[in-house]
Structure 1
Amino acid sequence: MTNDGWNTPVGSLMGREERMTRYGGAKYGGIEPSRKTPNVFIYSDPTRGKAFGYNFDGWNEDHTIFLYTGEGRIDDQQMRDGNRAILKHRIERRALRLFVADGLIPGTGQKNHRYIGKFEVDRERPYFLEEALDQEKESRTVFVFRLRPLGEVFYRDTDQSSSGDIRLTTEAALVPLEAYVSQTFENPGGRATTAVRRESELCARYVSYIGRNFQRWKITPAGETRPLFTDLYDQEENELYEAKGTTTRDAVRRSVGQLLDYQRHITPKPKLALLLPHRPSDDLINFLRNVGISCVYEELETGFSRIEVTTGED
């Protein structure tokens, strides 16, 4: 038995009630600090995250970091309660004990858990922020803690993170159009699917109209796990397009932000253009001119028309 009262071997199965009886801590939470022993119990169950379209939990590629999504099911997660207990565990002289869901306790409908080992938060970068859906399927920010093992740990292939750890440097590479898989949390549900389909169909019509090959940029910013995919990139003209399936002010504003975000990661810096299904209002055209972004829009009879930012003319 260790001096913190822990005597459960790595790899053991243990239900929450047994853990609560032996070591303290409440029964149901994902993060349970104990008043009985100097431990913080962490429960990882990737199936819960998958229900909302993400799965950050699990080992990174070289098994040196276990990623764990913080607690809080609605709105942005806050650094309090269980999240704070993880972040401050060294100051409070508590060990982090990690469990991963593993089947059901025999004869019950309760989940069983396998003890993975003792951990600490990474000293240089204890966590990073990611975007995910909450219980109401609204976009929000979550904490992803970076846990380093202390001593023996239990590895399983099934405990690999699907997102992986953060990148230390920004990576940008050209990929074929077919390599793009849309991942959007801005408008979850049916509307997102419809919007993506409209944008994809608009892009296909424009590529056919221009008659040459286009590509996309895949950009993974430093400090993040999720890559960003641009819409269309014309390498011959060094021009980057953002497509929107609607011509509303909100859509145009979001497109401007996306283009400026992408542009700063691409060398040489590309020209920018917005691809729309209709001609936007004169005020929005002036807005695009002010920020240096061309506008390409579809017309029923002629195909596509362009408003260049350099000429100020249709």
Structure 2
Amino acid sequence: MISDGWNTPVGGFLGRDERMVQYGGAKYGGIEPSRQSPNVFVYSDPARGEAFGYNFDGWNESRTVFLYTGEGRTGDQQMRDGNRAILEHRRKGRALRVFVAEGIIPGTSQKNHRYIGKFEVDREQPYFSEEAPDEENEIRTVFVFRLRPLGETFHRDTDQSSSGDVRLITESVLVSLEAHVSQTFENPGTKAAAAVRRESELCARYASHLGRSFQRWKITPAGETRSLFTDLYDQEENELYEAKGTATRDAVRQSIGQLLDYQRHITPKPSLTLLLPHRPSDDLVDLLRNVGISCVYEEPESGFSRISPTTR
């Protein structure tokens, strides 16, 4: 018999089959609204996200918000079906019942789930968007819901989010070049990883050529969890460099966007320079001049040459 009441204790285990019998809802999804009881069942399994190189799920540092990645395995996630059920749960008079995967149900191959409590979406900021790879390893947008506990909850150290909650204000700090670089979701041996290595080696050669130490900026934009790391920053000259391992049009275009994005978060605004392994085409040099960005490029004989926006 389906029950409208809730009698599963916080911290207790409840398999999906048993939950279906007691409270309704379908069996397999990560978000399962019930037609038989006023609940939306939310299943968190960080191991599934980690298989693709990301994990947003879990408690924030103060354990006041539980972060949960929405559903949708391919392409940008959409605010429909289960995601919409979470967002609109209060309007429809439903409670969010959150479970975390833990072990296997004895005698089966099915994952067991521990009930960690009743939640609601945060009233001020119910969710935010992040970038993450999908099942085809394409970067897409995902929803990360911010769930506030209602009453008693169950905590484990292993249930802490590795990304943390969103920042309320943008934070920009200078760090050493050795500081962790921006997350790219790429595995070693891929073309993207090889490009990062070429850029790092180019930066090292340029620093050695000048005999100068550089730093980098760590920028965490408001409303996001992931920090951005610039390439080289010359504090003495207040000059920000973006390095690319190739001088193609796509690389130059991308660099312009990155430099302009970084610059708006740094005070005072730095001058901008693109660092390349060789001289770009004349048309790309003209493009850089038009947007006020210098270009430093490597030459086989003389080391490095510079083209400033005012150079003709």
Rounded to whole Å, the distance in 2 between the matches of 1:279 and 1:212 is 22
CA contact (8 A) 1:220 1:226 kept: yes
What does residue 158 of structure 2 align with?
158
What does residue 99 of structure 1 align with?
99
Cα displacement (A) at 1:186: 8.3
Rounded to whole Å, the distance in 1 between the matches of 2:146 and 2:189 is 30
1:19-42 C-alpha deviation (Å, 9 max, x unpaired): 111111111100000111110000
CA contact (8 A) 2:4 2:23 kept: no
Alignment of 1:54-65 (within 5 A): 54-65=54-65
What does residue 238 of structure 1 align with?
238
Provide TM-score, normalisation by structure 1: 0.97
What does residue 308 of structure 2 align with?
308
Distance 1:125 1:172, change over 3 A: same
Provide TM-score, normalisation by structure 2: 0.97
State the 4+ residue runs in structure 1 displaced beyond 2 angstroms. 185-189
* SS at structure 1 position matched to 2:61: coil
CA contact (8 A) 1:137 1:188 kept: no
Distance 1:289 1:186, change over 3 A: farther
Rounded to whole Å, the distance in 2 between the matches of 1:9 and 1:225 is 32
CA contact (8 A) 2:31 2:41 kept: yes
1:213 and 2:198 equivalent?
A: no
1:169-191 C-alpha deviation (Å, 9 max, x unpaired): 00000000011334215899701
Superposition RMSD in Å: 1.3
Rounded to whole Å, the distance in 2 between the matches of 1:84 and 1:182 is 31
Rounded to whole Å, the distance in 1 between the matches of 2:18 and 2:274 is 59
What does residue 7 of structure 2 align with?
7
What does residue 70 of structure 1 align with?
70
What does residue 109 of structure 2 align with?
109
What does residue 222 of structure 1 align with?
222
Rounded to whole Å, the distance in 2 between the matches of 1:138 and 1:9 is 40
What does residue 270 of structure 2 align with?
270
CA contact (8 A) 2:182 2:228 kept: no
What does residue 141 of structure 2 align with?
141
Q: How many residues align?
A: 310
1:4-30 C-alpha deviation (Å, 9 max, x unpaired): 411100000111111111111111100
1:143-171 C-alpha deviation (Å, 9 max, x unpaired): 00000000111011110000000000000
What does residue 19 of structure 1 align with?
19
Cα displacement (A) at 1:109: 1.2
Rounded to whole Å, the distance in 2 between the matches of 1:158 and 1:180 is 23
1:201-222 C-alpha deviation (Å, 9 max, x unpaired): 0000001001111000000000
Structure 1: which amino acid aligns with 2:82? Answer: G
CA contact (8 A) 1:296 1:304 kept: yes
Structure 2: which amino acid aligns with 1:86? Answer: I
CA contact (8 A) 1:139 1:186 kept: no
1:88-112 C-alpha deviation (Å, 9 max, x unpaired): 0001110000000001111111100
What does residue 197 of structure 2 align with?
197
Rounded to whole Å, the distance in 2 between the matches of 1:147 and 1:236 is 45
Rounded to whole Å, the distance in 1 between the matches of 2:51 and 2:189 is 13
Q: Taking every aligned residue pair, what percent have the same amino acid on both sides?
A: 80
